[in-house]
Amino acid sequence: MVKIEDLKRINLLKDVPNHLLEIIANEAQLSIFGIDTQLITVNDKVDTFYMLIMGQVLVKKELTAEIDVILDYIQSGSSFGTSALIKGSKASYTAICQEPCEVITLSGKRMIQLFETNHELAYYMMLGVARQYKRHMDLRAQMIIKTLDENPELKEDINDIENLTLVI
């Protein structure tokens, strides 16, 4: 069991009412992982949803044996492994602890069962995931715009640059 105070530290859960946080608290586990612990491996089944209380997790994708692309550095308060909430999902990235990490974990299978019986919980989790997705997409759009500003010759080939920041 996890404390509700710990769940309130997670951005995805910031608007979730206490009675729903209690349900999550009863299902969640608190885990400590050491440096270099691989939490998610590309192409493996994703069956755990992670919420980072303390530490940093590197998210990467290998392009070649010599080249990895760093997709993100997950910070405290963030969550990942959302694919665990979709039956049969496989990881498209690898997630590795960069320092000792305190993590709240939830079984994806159990969360799906809870969503089927508690639609209010499903709604709040979906809302949190949607907000998280929008933040990531906005950040990516800003990165693309910055790259284009620094490389104006690339802009010539883009017809609808204003659509990079659409509200989703």
Domain positions in the chain: 4-165
Is residue 73 over pLDDT 90? yes
C-alpha Rg value of the chain to the nearest Å: 18
CA distance 121 to 130: 14
Task: Please name the CATH architecture into which domain 4-165 falls.
Answer: Sandwich (2.60)
CA distance 63 to 90: 17
Spatial neighbors of 168 by CB under 8 A, at least 6 apart, are 133, 134, 137
> What are the b/e assignments for 28-58, b being 16+ CB within 10 Å?
beeeebeeebebbeeeeebbbbbbbbebbbb
Paired with 99 in beta bridges are none
Q: Which of 33-42, 51-60, 79-88, 93-102 has the least mean pLDDT?
A: 79-88
- Tell me the CA distances in angstroms from 13 to 7, 60, 153, 159, one per residue in order: 7, 25, 42, 38
Which pLDDT score, from 0 to 100, does residue 62 have? Answer: 86
pLDDT tens figures, 137-168: 888 778 777 877 787 776 666 665 555 544 43
Is residue 27 over pLDDT 50? yes
Cβ proximity of 1 and 23 under 8 Å: no
Which pLDDT score, from 0 to 100, does residue 164 have? Answer: 52
